[in-house]
Chains A and B, each alone.
Chain A
Amino acid sequence: MDVVQLDRLQFALTISFHFVFPAVTIGLAMLIAIVETLRWWTKRDIYDRLSVFITKLFAVTFVIGVVSGIVMEFQFGTNWSRFSGFVGDIFGVPLAAEGISAFFLESAFVGIVLFGRNRVGSTLRWIAGLLVFGGTTLSAFWILVANSWMQTPAGFKIVTDSSGAQKAQMTDFFQAMFNPSTLPRFFHTVTACYVVGAFFLMGVCAWYVLRGRGSDVTSFALRLSVAIAFLGAGGMFATGDLQTREVQANQPLKFAAMEGVCQTANGVPLDLIAIPPSQNCSTGTGLGISIPYGLSAMSDLNPNGQIKGLDQQPDQSLWPPVAETFMSFHLMVGLGAMMMLLMLVGVFFWWRHALEKHRWWLWLAVIAIPAPIIATEFGWMTAEVGRQPWIVQGLMMVSAGTSPSVSATDVTISLIGIVLLYALLFFLWIYGLTREIRRGPELAPGEHALAPPVAVGPHEGGVTPATGKAGR
């Protein structure tokens, strides 16, 4: 592989790995904020115990997100120095703002959330929970500003600097920050993170019920997470619709690849499941289920409306990888539909007072824990693969953005190191989560779970399950 391919592989690997953790932490931080608010308001012990439990799951995830995030912050410079020089004037602002306004906030107050239970008062603990939630969501906003500018650049001009290199220079802050795709992508991504968090807690609570370890805490948490997962799954379709329309308007080739439309036509069907078109569109979508006139009807609100195909761009070298874009998009939507179905059934059972009685549904809820995470990853693949071959849409090619002084050997070495280290991190994450989940939330005084929590011996300075004084 040449150095561009290696750089891309490394970036794809590190970003896909990293994104799992912010998605989970943003979702869990939202749940912590809700439960902390209830605890602060009602002073009821059940919310205290639930908050401490979610905090433990949050803590294990947060640390992996932090360490894999440092790599992201520096990788623009290490592997994409020409890209960094080109976009720094615009891209750097949200990145710096993210550090100053969001990272400091969440990392400072996470100390209080995790270590302060006996050090600070009830109100400060609640405020710290809210600030961590605010910080995580704010950081999502800033990084999406930066990424959206790569998709739909705005508010800039191209200038030539003293060394003769071209670079983008900011002319209008608000146009650059709120470029056409910023808000639709922010809403869609952040809603996705909330769904990830809700599915996570829902699956964990379902597991407790299945294992006979249900308690007042899990019972409440199950209902809370079902409610949020249901609303969130609905929200995904609404924000997804918004975003797809934005893509159709601003990145028409990406849209054509997502929907597998080769030729511009009227009355285009909507492919639900299909074999994607070949890269040069010599064969179109085949062998699948489709809704006649569906895509035209959805996108144009007119069954005979015209949909622009990949052929709008005669130069095929400027097409994104069609099959990858098509498949990742359809897998995301398909997973989303299945999650929606699961939540409809869940809400129905809840309404019939039978949420904890249908074991098959509870098992599905357990299995569904990774579903929104995977769907989110497919969503990002759609967005990023669909932007190819551009690193900044229409302005700079991916191959023009790499670091001239970094060789293929260098990247191979770093790639091997990163794969090994990230495998360890992933193992540690799963281990840490499993450990906290097996211990479970504290029980109310006098309450007995059917299966005793697994006691990992409290050692000197270790953790004591009975008092929940575990740190991160």
Chain B
Amino acid sequence: MSLATVWFVFIGLMLTGYAILDGFDLGVGALHLFVARNDRERTQVLNSIGPVWDGNEVWLIASGGALFAAFPHAYATVFSGFYLAMVMLLGALIVRATSIEFRGKETARIWRAGWDLGFALGSIAAVLLFGIALGNVLRGIPIDPDGGYRGGLVGLLNPFAISIGVLALGLALLQGSAWLVLKTEGPVQDRARWTGGFALFLILAAWIAASGLGWSDARRVFDNFGSLLAWAAPVLTAAVMVLMVMAWRARQDGRSFLFSSLAVLGMAATAGLALYPNLVPAVDVSRSVTIDNAHSSDTALTLLLMVGLIGMPIVIGYTAFIYWKFKGKVRLDEAGY
């Protein structure tokens, strides 16, 4: 395996880490208005992600930095090509973050209602945009000779990409529900059990839709699935989903969160397999941004690998430590929003 391929896998794993971790707090945001009906419940929901959401978001920033460093052309092509979508994504992330932080600062109803709405809509929009962007990358985009993509916002809204957006939303809702069941009690927990079930159906529907639409509209997605080995990823994902359903029904809350996270990992691995060896496949294959034509020099990649191999275990270590420190159900009597 070449150094660049190692980086393809490494960035894939970092983005998966982001999808798992920010996935649950984005999901919590998307569920917020529904699972928490009064002010006390909403504070409870916010406090469940309070100490960790910011750290979760760093996975995105670090992945962006790593993509810039390891595959500058992929970073440049996607971010400039999806310009307005990216700006909207950044706007959504800003709105939801400020909503989390400023909601608790006043007690006026309109103040809190406004931030509640911002938190929910910002989270939903962010997840959908991530999914739609990924869907378009998987499908392949028309890249101009100068390396730019000029499809605009409308070009991104094709059925396949939207189905991936819905799939992403389903996964975030599942992650968020599993997290809330783990961290809360009472009515919020009860509603989160319900939303988790709903999310499972949504995922199933979106998965079937994406497969069908992929076959008709994004055939390149199946290119790598000629080999039997590649099928391991979707098959294992399906198996994890079955285990997830069983754990959810048995109210094994810890396992549910684990299986939900593994399902995200499985979906990400499937997407990664469908993409390989491209980073941004083009409609005209000769213009595709691939691992081979986009990677940085071996000097830079080696350095980065050292930074990553030393840094990431430490990061994972103290992140786990902090989750452990804040383990257990949310208590409203302590520091919080």
Residues of A within 8 A of B (CB): 59-60, 63-64, 66-71, 73-74, 76-79, 81-82, 84-85, 87-93, 95-101, 103-105, 107-112, 114-120, 161-163, 167, 169-171, 173, 403-406, 410, 413-414, 417-418, 421, 424-425, 428, 431-432, 435, 456-457, 459-463, 469-472
* With A96-B68, A413-B87 already in contact, 6 other A-B pairs whose C-beta atoms are closer than 8 Å: A89-B297, A93-B307, A100-B62, A162-B293, A405-B83, A471-B50
Interface status of B228 (Cβ within 8 A of chain A): no
Most buried by B among A64, A90, A460: A460
Chain A residues with Cβ below 8 Å from B293 are: 161-163
Assess whether B80 is in contact with A81, with CB atoms less than 8 Å apart.
yes
Considering only residues 41-73 of chain B, those with a C-beta below 8 Å from chain A are 43-44, 47, 50-52, 54-55, 57-58, 60-66, 68-73
Q: Whole-angstrom distance between the alpha carbons of A456 and B39 in the complex? A: 16
With A66-B97, A96-B304, A119-B326 known to touch, is A459 a contact of B86 (CB < 8 Å)?
no
Contact count A vs B, C-beta below 8 Å: 279
Q: Whole-angstrom distance between the alpha carbons of A73 and B62 in the complex? A: 9
Chain B residues with Cβ below 8 Å from A461 are: 39-40, 43-44, 47, 104, 332, 336-337
Assess whether B98 is in contact with A63, with CB atoms less than 8 Å apart.
yes
Assess whether B307 is in contact with A170, with CB atoms less than 8 Å apart.
no
User: What is the interface of chain A mostly: helix, strand, loop, or mixed?
Assistant: helix
With A78-B83, A405-B83, A456-B107 known to touch, is A73 a contact of B307 (CB < 8 Å)?
no
Looking at the complex, which one of B58, B80, B102, B312 makes contact with A77 (CB distance below 8 Å)?
A: B80
User: What is the interface of chain B mostly: helix, strand, loop, or mixed?
Assistant: helix
Interface status of B299 (Cβ within 8 A of chain A): yes
B107 → chain A, closest Cβ, in Å? 4
Chain A residues with Cβ below 8 Å from B78 are: 77
Chain B residues with Cβ below 8 Å from A418 are: 87
Chain B residues with Cβ below 8 Å from A97 are: 65, 304, 307, 311
Considering only residues 296-337 of chain B, those with a C-beta below 8 Å from chain A are 296-297, 299-300, 303-304, 307-308, 311-312, 315, 318-319, 322, 325-326, 332, 334-337
Assess whether B93 is in contact with A85, with CB atoms less than 8 Å apart.
no
Chain B residues with Cβ below 8 Å from A82 are: 76
Looking at the complex, which one of A87, A169, A471 makes contact with B335 (CB distance below 8 Å)?
A: A471
Q: Whole-angstrom distance between the alpha carbons of A89 and B76 in the complex? A: 13
Interface status of B212 (Cβ within 8 A of chain A): no
Q: Whole-angstrom distance between the alpha carbons of A164 and B98 in the complex? A: 44
Assess whether A100 is in contact with B307, with CB atoms less than 8 Å apart.
yes
With A77-B75, A404-B146 known to touch, is A95 a contact of B68 (CB < 8 Å)?
yes
Assess whether A119 is in contact with B334, with CB atoms less than 8 Å apart.
yes
Q: Whole-angstrom distance between the alpha carbons of A405 and B104 in the complex? A: 42
Chain A residues with Cβ below 8 Å from B70 are: 92, 96
Interface status of B233 (Cβ within 8 A of chain A): no
Closest to A97 in B: B307
Chain B residues with Cβ below 8 Å from A85 are: 72-73, 76, 147
Assess whether B69 is in contact with A95, with CB atoms less than 8 Å apart.
yes
Q: Whole-angstrom distance between the alpha carbons of A393 and B144 in the complex? A: 29
Looking at the complex, which one of B86, B98, B296 makes contact with A78 (CB distance below 8 Å)?
A: B86
Q: Whole-angstrom distance between the alpha carbons of A167 and B133 in the complex? A: 27
Assess whether A115 is in contact with B51, with CB atoms less than 8 Å apart.
yes
Assess whether B44 is in contact with A104, with CB atoms less than 8 Å apart.
no
Q: Whole-angstrom distance between the alpha carbons of A405 and B334 in the complex? A: 50
B239 → chain A, closest Cβ, in Å? 32
Assess whether B102 is in contact with A463, with CB atoms less than 8 Å apart.
no
With A111-B54, A119-B325 known to touch, is A101 a contact of B97 (CB < 8 Å)?
no
Interface status of B81 (Cβ within 8 A of chain A): yes
Assess whether B325 is in contact with A120, with CB atoms less than 8 Å apart.
yes
Closest to B60 in A: A70
Assess whether A99 is in contact with B62, with CB atoms less than 8 Å apart.
yes
Chain A residues with Cβ below 8 Å from B304 are: 92-93, 96-97
Assess whether A462 is in contact with B98, with CB atoms less than 8 Å apart.
no
Q: Whole-angstrom distance between the alpha carbons of A89 and B66 in the complex? A: 11
B71 → chain A, closest Cβ, in Å? 8
Assess whether B326 is in contact with A111, with CB atoms less than 8 Å apart.
yes
Most buried by A among B52, B58, B84, B107: B58
Assess whether B52 is in contact with A73, with CB atoms less than 8 Å apart.
no
Chain B residues with Cβ below 8 Å from A96 are: 62, 65-66, 68-70, 304, 307-308
